[in-house]
Amino acid sequence: MYLVRHKKLTLSFGRIGLISDTHGLVRPQALSALKGSEIILHAGDIGRPEVLTALATIAPVIAIRGNNDREPWARNLPDVIHLTANGVPIQIIHNVNEIEGDPGGKFRIVVSGHSHKPGVWAREGVFFVNPGSAGPRRFKLPVALARLSLLGKRIRTKIVELKV
């Protein structure tokens, strides 16, 4: 099942899988690394609808459209999603450079993709998470995804580099 416009989530354990830039490729290593997620957030450049179907075998999926998702199947996917998971406001946007305004005060976490470069950084109280690319390798960047854990007020993130 994919959820596209779900706004409020209450997760039992706060385990969220983050993936981006699959570009039509679903690696078995990615599916394995996402097991145990209560929900999966895909930050765009999905590539094919079958990617979402495969991810949905692990957990419900919330996905946005990336700059390469221009086929008819992707028309109903939003460009940006704002949601709240376990009371934590989250924005999902494909290209972090396209954020309009200051996310501080509105969001605690911003999940993005686009650059294929995995990373976690904080700025003015906002955690920015780019899970990297779980799709075809680009340049010398790692193939990766991320895990996000929301436990009360604690936010934990982990970049998971896939062995491919």
Domains (range + CATH), the chain:
2-161 (3.60.21.10)
Q: What is the mean pLDDT of the chain?
A: 92
What are the residues facing 158 on neighbouring strands? 147
What are the residues facing 147 on neighbouring strands? 17, 158
Higher pLDDT, 124 or 112: 112
pLDDT at 157: 96
Q: Which amino acid is at 75?
A: R
Q: What angle do CA 22, 25, 144 make, to 5 degrees?
A: 50
pLDDT at 105: 84
Tokens at 49, concatenated = 């609808």
pLDDT reading at 137 higher than 80: yes
pLDDT at 102: 84
Greatest pairwise CA separation for the chain in angstroms: 40
pLDDT level of residue 1 (50, 70, 90 thresholds): very low
SS3 label, residue 52? helix
pLDDT reading at 77 higher than 50: yes
| Of residues 3, 21, 5, the one with CA closest to residue 80 | 5
Higher pLDDT, 124 or 42: 42
- In terms of DSSP bridges, do strands 39-42 and 61-63 run parallel, antiparallel, or are they unpaired? parallel
Mean pLDDT of 155-159: 96
Mean pLDDT of 104-121: 94
pLDDT level of residue 80 (50, 70, 90 thresholds): very high
**In 42-110, which ranges are continuous DSSP H helix?**
49-55
SS3 label, residue 135? coil
pLDDT at 156: 95
